[in-house]
Amino acid sequence: MKRFMLMMMALCFAIVTFAKGDIKTVVFTPTPQMHCQNCENKIKNNIRFEKGVKTIKTDLKNQTVTITYDSEKTNVEKLKAGFEKIGFKVVVKENKGLKG
């Protein structure tokens, strides 16, 4: 019985430890516009350090930045502030939540 209880406690710990947060995706349009690879790299290399950011995809042709993030660690307003730190203002083009 004691072994069973220890196994159950270990299982609960593992579930809590490895549980994913609420994963969401937001698509931003930056100003000034991205006009080259350096602009894309500036965004990717700086925004990736914002807490909770999982992935960043830039699209030069469509002038969008798509970010997947853990909403338990950050939010759209904090991400916008991250862009402002590097000289960009952003407008939300699309905001969609995904359960992860």
| Residue 5 counted as domain residue | no
- pLDDT given at position 73: 95
Would you tell me how many other CB atoms lie within 10 Å of the CB of residue 54?
16
CATH number at residue 53: 3.30.70.100
Instruction: Give me the tens of pLDDT residue by residue for the chain, a chain 100 residues long.
Output: 767 665 666 655 555 445 556 999 999 999 999 999 999 999 999 999 999 999 999 999 999 999 999 999 999 999 999 999 999 999 999 887 654 4
- pLDDT given at position 95: 86
Structural domain tally of the chain? Answer: 1
* DSSP label of 33: P
- pLDDT given at position 17: 45
| Residue 4 counted as domain residue | no
Range of the domain at 46: 20-97
Own/partner pairs, 7-14, CB within 8 angstroms, 24+ separation: none
Global confidence as pTM: 0.76
| Residue 43 counted as domain residue | yes
